[in-house]
Amino acid sequence: MTPKMLLLPVLLPAVLAVALLLLPRALRLVRDALAVAGAGVLLYYGFLFFSVKDLRYAVPWLGMGIDFDLRLYHFSSFILLALAGFLFLIAVYATVKMKDAPRGREFMAYVFLTAAFANGAALANNFVPLVFFWEGLLVTLYGMIAIGGRPTSGRTAVKALLIAGFCDFSLILGVGLLWSVAGTATMSEIAVEPTGLAAAAFVLMMIGAAGKAGAMPFHTWIPDAAVDAPVTFMAFLPAAFEKLLGIYLLARVSLDFFKLRPGGAMSVLLMIVGAATIVLAVLMALVQKDLKRLLSYHAVSQVGYMILGIGTAVPVGIAGGVFHMINHAMYKSGLFLSAGSVEHRAGTTELKKLGGLRRDMPLTALGFVVCALAISGVWPLNGFVSKEMVFHGALETGYTVFAVAAWIGAIFTFASFLKAGHSVFFGERTTDVPEVKESPAAIVLPILVLAALCVLFGVYNKLPLDRLITPVVAPHAEAGAHLDFTGHALDLFNVVALISVGCLVLAFLIHRHGFLKGGRKAYLASEPFHGLPGIRQAYDLAEKRVFDPYEQGVKALQGLSLALYKAVDRPIDFVFEKAVTAAGEKFTGILKKAHNGHYANYLAWCLAGLVILAGAIGLLAK
Amino acid sequence: MSNTWYLYLFFAAALVFAGLLGLLAKRNLIKLLIAIEIVGKGVSLLLLSTGLAKAHILTAQALVVTYIVIEVSLVATALALIINIRRQTGGLDIRSLTRLKG
Amino acid sequence: MILQTALLAVLVALSVLAIALKDLLRSAIALALASLVLGIVFFRMGAPYAGVFEISVVAGLITVLFILTIALTKSGDEVRESKLANIVFPVVFVAFLAIDALVMKRLMGKVPALARGGEAGTFGEVLWKGRTLDLVGQIAVILAGVFAVLALFRQRDKHE
Amino acid sequence: MIILFVVLPLVVAGLLPLAGKASKRLLPDLLANATLLFLVAYAAVAGRALIADGPVLQQTTWLGEALGIRLVLDGFSLFMLVVVALVGLAASLFSIDYMEHYGAKGNFYALYLVMIAGMNGLVLASDLFAVYVFLEVAAVASYALVAYGLGRDELEAAFKYLMLSVVASAFLVGGIAVVYGMTGGLDFAAVAMALKELNAGPALAVASALFLLGFGLKAALIPFHAWLPDAHPSAPAPISAVLSGLLIKVSGVYALTRVFLNVFGLTPALSTVLLWLGAVSAVAAAFLALGQKDIKRMLAYSSISQVGYVVLAIGVGTPLGIAGGLFHLFNHALAKGLLFLTSGSVQRATGTRDLDAMGGLAKRMPVTAATNLVGALSIAGVPPLNGFWSKLIIIVALVQAGHPVFAAVAVLASVLTLWYYLLMQRKAFFGRLNETWAAVREAPFWMTASTVLLALLCVGIGILFASTVTTWVRPAADVLADGIHAVAGSWGF
């Protein structure tokens, strides 16, 4: 294993991307085989690199502190492995799902190009290559949405590009500031206190990293993309890759580059961002009527847990945040893939048109339910473990309010997944969707693999915690600190876990309440259900379409959700989409009017400019 | 000699300013070109008087000669443009040349 | 020096006339006269070659070009000049002259300057040994002017 | 023999009208392109070896006597020569097909080569007045080239361009006279040393302002920019490409930086003024570009904005900032040249420049659309294209030099740039094919070939940016970063 090998995760996918693009349409099978095989090779190397862990490839580049520097160490090898795993699953899935898509070939090429940039970003150990790879992701993001093939795809792509571009540019600004404060662009050598100018750098870089992960208020393109972009894209970028990279960078920023202190201003800032994202996004998720849109708001909400966890700056919180990142990537990816599977067969993801698909698509349903339970934090799945750690971390800082926010998020996460799961897979078949079959193996397998991983990481949490998470946190914990997160990970009998369970119960009660008010019969109770008994009863209690709990029981909540949707989400969207445009156009109009074509006017500008410049230089010289 | 430099500069400035005022106020294309010529005269006077003040009159003379040659080229090009504009628009008013704007 | 000052004053007066006169032909002639005066001023400053150039090229060639153009473009519609400008701008000009007269001497006193030794030789030597590059530039600019005029008066090919 | 850069195009230009008599198209095409190809080869291949041991000072002799032709080739001028030759060659290749229906090709190429000679002369000149002379050579040729179509808009644009330019150059000569009056010299080296000795305050401020007007108008910095959005779109496409890609950079940015950094020395006051000029130009022109319906006018405003970017970077005055600025100058020359050329292909195929009337042209003109996309993304600063790197370096340099606000402004300009280029792409090339253009065909061979050449350069430099920067940009930036020492110490004849 030579240092040069580190170029492989960057170059191989890039070459593959070009090859996939060049292969003619007729050779689709070759193309698919190449994609899956290439992803397989990358996964193999992912494991290989994970076992090596310490490698650095640095060549001088431009001078002035700009080197081409790639560094493999524990954290980056972990991210690299995760990226490779998701790439493999997505590649398999896309062979079927994107088969008939009009621009499937370009999509595949974009996937591998994204992987190349993402691997580069994870490995980069100098700011300039980091920014380069980071910006490269912007291009593929735009491209993948733009080829969505819907009338509004182009608009959404531009919106995504502008929002993500804003975040990226603030990252660049932050990088520049940090570079000048720290005096070096080599990432492994930077460790500064977040005060003064460095604090500004921290905030800017935080915007860049959290924006990439999709935190509020940089999220509004995600729900739109859910509708306008291929669903595979959603499982790939917003659900998995962007979270992994964004949180990876956020962790690097707050742990390595800056010495975040528990309870410090920057820590509290991060926790506020995290908590706000959790609560606001989940409330918005409640009122969504489309499965993909609903999932996408959860993709935003869950980022809040990660940011909150890292923001606590205490070991258990950080570990929880990072663990939540990998967990979330698994179950959210699984959920989007399940939605894609449903879309593949039923042709729609609108909740009111779907129902009872459990019988037709049992495996998809199984995968969806497991992932939904995991995201809701049900014992003993992985989501439970990582959320508990975040709660503990938040409580440890003394700011109980953030833990409360996180619990509120847990309640509504579960509630909305009860709604989603019920309306798609349970209840009565609707007439909108004809008899359907289970999706082909290439679609179902990735879902089941992800679901199985969710179970594995929950039940056998020692594996991920000891092998992946603890080594990340260890260098930042005080010497001799207690770093065994596994002992009580599944312990249900402590106050925190009991409150969490209480939250889940509360979510059930919301449904129950709504159901009783509706006065409907619970005929779903007779349906056999191969899941967990608690869930089954909860679903059984809800009788009609899942919107009714809100229509009947929690009108107030719905009002609040809608109000928030209108008062927070749309204005942010408005700022990005309308206000900026309008202001720009106004300004442009004034400037254009000034250019009226009159020579004397232009000459007057020149002479005025001359006088002003002479005065300015003269005054400044003094 | 340098104590009379300011005198030349006074007149050079007057010429340049007169030319600029003409450029701002006049509308006839040929008039504008005449105004440019006046500015040019001011500048060549400035150039030569500077050389005089520095006792570099020979060099300054060379510069002025080059300046004049350039001026001729410019005037010829400008006049050719004006004749073409006259053919196209039927007039010589600078105010009719405002199609390009915004 | 008095004669020189008087000549310069005449030069400015003629220039103002060249701009202010209504009739284009007359203002072209005023411009030619201004050039003539400037040529004489150049002579008196000890720059005979510049003077000759000013008189022959500017007062001669350029005036001919101007008159030619005026003849070619004459035929009817006069350009209406702005009345307001005709009133305001002379006032501004006089004000500028006053300020110019008041501050120029003081201003020039403030310009720092290095004392330098004078130059030796004849005009030809200075031009040839010192500023030959300008000659290349002159050739280039004449070429540019000739090609420009040729391009602007070319017959458009009718093919296509 | 670096004087060849000036004399060769001039001689060929002089021969061209004669050649045009013998053969209306073939000979002018051949001669002009061969000349530029030679210049590219000479500058790119031999140039590096020439300046390996420091700047080349060449005084031409004739019959054993030293003439007053003193040319200097250093890292900065070589860099500019390469840019001029490259973009000049691409545009003249494009002209082979494009200028067919304008007629009088011999005359066209003659003017074109005189303009190239003027720019090369300006770059190699070693004294202030020679800079002015060659600036005028290029300018006179450019007035005629702008008006080459002889249409109403072309004439209007050329006339206003000429009238504004002439005033600016008059002030420039005034500035030269002031400096001459203070120092008694015109040589860069002599002036630089004398100014250092003099420590001139207000008088130099006035001179600086005069130079800023003179060069700033050529560079089209706001508020001296008003001629550019008229002149550049009106010119034939290859000329637009050269004006935007080269002329504003050579007679604007090059002259400005050479004089301010190497001769006057960049004082904090000048630096501040340059930063402001650059920032205002970059942002205001970007807004103006956003509101355009004419594809070439949009590109023209974009040029103002990008030159603002370059000046902003050079105004920082740090080695990194200067390197970023020069690299951006190089990238913008290639990309904007490319964009104007493709806009010419579109105009030739459809007969319109109105973005609203276009649409879906990518289906009919795939090569043009693809190369245009490369150019647009490059200027907008999208990786891995060349423009990304230069913008990144500029932003980092601004932050490092303690100008976070200007860095934010640069970022804003970048976002706006991306915005209007996406707008242009969407309106012109993507979307549904406008029925009117169903019969439109891809541009002829030389037009596509020259755009492909530039597009490949954009991509290639993006990928090999490090070696481009170290080979070409750094030597140039080093000269500028050296300040007056680069000139005062080693340029004496």
Among A164, A147, A137, A187, smallest CA distance to A14 is for A137
Instruction: Report the first-to-last Cα separation within chain B, whole angstroms.
Output: 51
Q: Do C79 and B93 touch (CB under 8 A)?
A: yes
Q: Do D229 and B43 touch (CB under 8 A)?
A: no
Q: Which helix (H) or strand (E) holds D65?
A: strand D65-73
pLDDT tens digits, one per residue of A26-53: 778 888 888 889 999 999 988 888 888 7
pLDDT of residue A567: 66
Q: Do D203 and C112 touch (CB under 8 A)?
A: yes
Q: How close, in Å, is residue C28 to chain D by CA atoms?
A: 18
CB neighbours of A303 closer than 8 A, spacing ≥ 6? Answer: A210, A213, A214, A215, A243, A246, A247, A274, A277, A328
pLDDT tens digits, one per residue of A573-593: 666 667 777 777 788 888 888
Q: What angle do CA C18, C21, C24 make, to 5 degrees?
A: 80
Of A368-377, D19-28, D98-107, the one with minimum mean pLDDT is D19-28
For residue A138, report the phi and psi dihedrals to the nearest 5 degrees.
-60, -40
D158 touches chain B (CB under 8 A): yes
Q: What average pLDDT score do residues C35-47 get? A: 93
Most A CBs within 10 A among D230, D399, D406, hence the mutation to make, goes to D399
For residues A487 and A565, membership in a common domain is answered with no
Structural domain span for residue C141:
123-155
Most A CBs within 10 A among B23, B33, B85, hence the mutation to make, goes to B23
Residue A534 has pLDDT above 50, yes or no: no
Helix, strand or coil for residue A216? coil
Residue D371 has pLDDT above 90, yes or no: yes
For residues A347 and A277, membership in a common domain is answered with yes
CA D474 – CA A139 distance, rounded (Å): 29
The tokens describing A286, both together, are 């409640």
For residues A327 and A227, membership in a common domain is answered with no
Q: Do C118 and B74 touch (CB under 8 A)?
A: no
pLDDT of residue A563: 64
CA A422 – CA A427 distance, rounded (Å): 6
pLDDT of residue A6: 85
pLDDT band at C65 (very low <50, low <70, confident <90, very high): very high
pLDDT of residue C142: 95
CB atoms within 10 A of CB C63: 19
Domain boundaries, chain B: 2-96
pLDDT of residue A528: 29
Q: What average pLDDT score do residues D231-245 get? A: 94
Tell me if A500 is assigned to some domain. yes
Tell the burial category of D79 from Cβ atoms under 10 Å away from its Cβ (0-12, 13-18, 19+): buried
Q: Chains near B, with 3+ CB pairs < 8 A?
A: A, C, D
Q: Chains near A, with 3+ CB pairs < 8 A?
A: B, D
Query: Which of B8, B31, B77 lies nearest to residue C27, judging by beta carbons?
Result: B31
For residue A186, the cross-strand partners are A126
For residues A44 and A150, membership in a common domain is answered with yes
Q: What average pLDDT score do residues D348-372 get? A: 88
Residue D10 has pLDDT above 50, yes or no: yes
C22 touches chain B (CB under 8 A): no
What residues 137-156 of chain C have any CB closer than 8 A to a CB of chain D? 137-141, 143-145, 147-152, 154-156
pLDDT of residue A468: 81
Q: Do B89 and D152 touch (CB under 8 A)?
A: yes
pLDDT band at A551 (very low <50, low <70, confident <90, very high): very low
C123 touches chain B (CB under 8 A): yes
For residue A56, the cross-strand partners are A71
For residues A417 and A276, membership in a common domain is answered with yes
Hey, what CATH class is B2-96 in? Answer: mainly alpha
Query: Which of A154, A614, A622 lies nearest to residue D206, judging by beta carbons?
Result: A614
Helix D152-183 to helix D128-146 angle (10° resolution) is: 180
pLDDT tens digits, one per residue of A485-520: 776 667 777 888 888 888 888 877 776 665 555 443
pLDDT of residue A513: 65
Q: Do B101 and A604 touch (CB under 8 A)?
A: no
Query: Which of B39, B50, B99 lies nearest to residue D180, judging by beta carbons?
Result: B50
The total number of structural domains in chain C stands at 2
Q: Considering only CB atoms, which chain B residues are within 8 Å of A610?
A: none
Q: How close, in Å, is residue D193 to chain A by CA atoms?
A: 20
pLDDT tens digits, one per residue of A89-98: 888 888 887 7
C-alpha neighbours within 13 Å on the C-beta side of residue D219: 30
Residue in D with minimal Cα distance to C113:
D182
pLDDT tens digits, one per residue of D128-184: 999 999 999 999 999 999 999 999 999 999 999 999 999 999 999 999 999 998 888
Cis amide leading into A380 (omega within 30): yes
Tell me if C144 is assigned to some domain. yes
The tokens describing A192, both together, are 């500064």
Q: Considering only CB atoms, which chain D residues are within 8 Å of A597?
A: 230
Structural domain span for residue A330:
260-553
What residues 187-206 of chain D have any CB closer than 8 A to a CB of chain C? 194, 197-200, 202-203
Q: Do A602 and D400 touch (CB under 8 A)?
A: no
Residue A481 has pLDDT above 60, yes or no: yes
Q: Considering only CB atoms, which chain B residues are within 8 Å of A595?
A: 101-102
Share of chain D above pLDDT 90, in %: 58
The answer to whether A281 and A298 have CB atoms below 8 angstroms apart is yes
pLDDT tens digits, one per residue of B43-84: 999 999 998 888 888 999 999 999 999 999 999 999 999 999
Q: Do A597 and B32 touch (CB under 8 A)?
A: no
Q: Considering only CB atoms, which chain B residues are within 8 Å of D155?
A: 81, 84-85, 88
Strands D56-62 and A66-72: unpaired
CB atoms within 10 A of CB A165: 24
pLDDT of residue A535: 39
Q: How close, in Å, is residue C1 to chain D by CA atoms?
A: 21
pLDDT of residue C31: 95
Cis amide leading into D223 (omega within 30): yes
CA C114 – CA D116 distance, rounded (Å): 37
ipTM score of complex:
0.92
What residues 318-347 of chain D have any CB closer than 8 A to a CB of chain A? 319-320, 323
CA A597 – CA D153 distance, rounded (Å): 11
Query: Which of A169, A177, A620 lies nearest to residue D269, judging by beta carbons?
Result: A620
Tell me if A207 is assigned to some domain. no
What residues 126-165 of chain D have any CB closer than 8 A to a CB of chain C? 127, 129-130, 133-134, 136-137, 140-141, 143-145, 147-148, 150
Query: Which of C132, C141, C147 lies nearest to residue D136, judging by beta carbons?
Result: C141
pLDDT of residue D224: 94
Q: Which amino acid is at A69?
A: D
The answer to whether A305 and A409 have CB atoms below 8 angstroms apart is yes
CA A258 – CA A267 distance, rounded (Å): 11
Q: What average pLDDT score do residues A162-185 get? A: 84
Q: Considering only CB atoms, which chain D residues are within 8 Å of C144?
A: 111, 114-115, 118, 137, 140-141, 144
**Residue ending a domain, choose from C15, C45, C74:** C74
CB atoms within 10 A of CB C99: 12
For residues A269 and A374, membership in a common domain is answered with yes
pLDDT of residue D492: 63
Query: Which of B39, B99, B102 lies nearest to residue D167, judging by beta carbons?
Result: B39
Q: pTM of this prediction?
A: 0.79
A611 touches chain B (CB under 8 A): no
Q: Chains near C, with 3+ CB pairs < 8 A?
A: B, D
Q: Do C137 and D137 touch (CB under 8 A)?
A: yes
CA A613 – CA D488 distance, rounded (Å): 26
Q: Do B98 and A598 touch (CB under 8 A)?
A: yes
Name the DSSP class of C156. Answer: P
For residues A265 and A235, membership in a common domain is answered with no
Helix, strand or coil for residue D58? strand
CB atoms within 10 A of CB A149: 12
For residues A174 and A282, membership in a common domain is answered with no
Q: What average pLDDT score do residues A209-230 get? A: 82
C-alpha neighbours within 13 Å on the C-beta side of residue D49: 6
Q: What average pLDDT score do residues C20-48 get? A: 93
Name the DSSP class of C121. Answer: S
D408 touches chain A (CB under 8 A): yes
Of A71-75, A200-204, A458-462, D198-202, the one with minimum mean pLDDT is D198-202
pLDDT band at A572 (very low <50, low <70, confident <90, very high): low
Residue A222 has pLDDT above 90, yes or no: no
Mean pLDDT across chain D:
90
The total number of structural domains in chain A stands at 3
CA D133 – CA C140 distance, rounded (Å): 9
Q: What average pLDDT score do residues B20-43 get? A: 93
Tell me if C108 is assigned to some domain. no
pLDDT of residue C77: 58
Tell me if C115 is assigned to some domain. no
For residues C69 and C128, membership in a common domain is answered with no
Query: What count of CB pairs under 8 Å joins A to B?
Result: 27
Q: Which amino acid is at D455?
A: A
CA D90 – CA D83 distance, rounded (Å): 11
pLDDT band at D89 (very low <50, low <70, confident <90, very high): very high
For residues A226 and A276, membership in a common domain is answered with no
Q: Do C100 and B14 touch (CB under 8 A)?
A: yes
Q: Do C148 and D111 touch (CB under 8 A)?
A: yes
pLDDT of residue A568: 64
Q: Do B32 and D129 touch (CB under 8 A)?
A: no
Q: Chains near D, with 3+ CB pairs < 8 A?
A: A, B, C
